Amino acid sequence: MADMMCKKCDCVLEMAKAEFSYLGKTFSAEVPKCPKCGAVYVSEGFANERMKKVETAMEDK
Ligand SMILES: [Zn+2]
């Protein structure tokens, strides 16, 4: 995977833990984050996959 750059400050994004909440559940994931301005870059595919996992986990109960 190529390094992603912050569109604003043009610096390389670092992986950082971020928390998401969906359907009343909170989960954390490593996401690319700009160390300078704190912008988080989450691709739509990544977000959809995480959401699917949460939904699957809930259905399994
Ligand atoms: Zn930035």
Domain boundaries, the chain: 14-60
| Centroid of ligand 1 to alpha carbon of 60 (angstroms) | 39
| Centroid of ligand 1 to alpha carbon of 20 (angstroms) | 20
| Centroid of ligand 1 to alpha carbon of 49 (angstroms) | 25
| Centroid of ligand 1 to alpha carbon of 32 (angstroms) | 11
Can you tell me the distance from the alpha carbon of 50 to that of 8, in angstroms, rounded to the nearest whole number?
26
Instruction: State pTM to two decimals.
Output: 0.62
Question: Mean pLDDT throughout 29-46?
Answer: 87
Closest CA to 41 of 31, 51, 28: 31
CA atoms within 13 A on the CB side of 52: 6
How far from each other are the two terminal CA atoms of the chain, in whole angstroms?
35
Q: What is the pLDDT of residues 1-37, one digit of tens each?
A: 567 899 999 999 999 988 888 889 888 888 899 999 9
| Centroid of ligand 1 to alpha carbon of 9 (angstroms) | 4
Can you tell me the distance from the alpha carbon of 13 to that of 39, in angstroms, rounded to the nearest whole number?
9
